[in-house]
Amino acid sequence: MVETIVVAVFVIGICTFLFTNFLPLIADYERVSEYDNVDTKYKAHEIRKMLLREFDKDANLTSIFSSHISSNTGYYRYQNYSEEVGDEVVVKNRLCSLLTSPNYCNKLLSTDYLNVKEIIVTPFKLSNFKGIVKDNQDFDRSLREYVEYLPDYSKYSSRYDSYYRIIVAFNDGRFSNIEVHYDLG
């Protein structure tokens, strides 16, 4: 009887140890599985390609990065908004209004194609942006967690100074980011 109790306590102890160590690991995997998966990376890449094509057409579009970011404490949010077009309500993104092909941009970001909720443009080094987002209730909790998850590359002094980061939040709760290197000078 004593041996059975000792073995049962031992087995319960091992099961408790395994449960307490694997449960957080599974929860972390489920959370991170919505970050930067292959599908969202391709979608972010399409947005980057669209922006770079637009920059080649119109040199004044560098304000998407330079002046907007410097005037807004290190980042700029391009959020969706609704607009009535005739009898129909159409969702548009503020980024598209700056481009030379706004109809193409709005169509690409729509729920029919990329399903984008908002786009945030920041410098590639995220140390300042992480500080802004950390306790800012204007950002969703899930977006704050995603930004905290991202590496900020602050230890590289000047390597990434001319790089920008596009953070894309999708309507289905997933996130992705991609760098954009565009020489503004």
pLDDT in tens, 142-185: 888 888 888 876 666 566 666 788 899 998 889 999 988 765 54
Q: Which amino acid is at 164?
A: Y
| Mean pLDDT of all residues in 125-130 | 82
Q: In what order do the strands lie in the sheet with 88-93?
A: 88-93, 76-85, 116-123, 163-170, 175-181
**Structural domain spans, the chain:** 1-33, 36-181
- The predicted-structure confidence for 57-105, as pLDDT tens digits, reads as follows 765 666 666 655 655 566 777 888 877 777 777 778 888 887 888 888 8
pTM above 0.85, yes or no: no
- Per DSSP, the residues of 84-102 read EETTEEEEEETTGGGSS-H
* Cα 87 to Cα 66: distance, rounded to the nearest angstrom: 37
- Please list the residues that pair with 83 across neighbouring strands: 90
d(CA 62, CA 132): 23
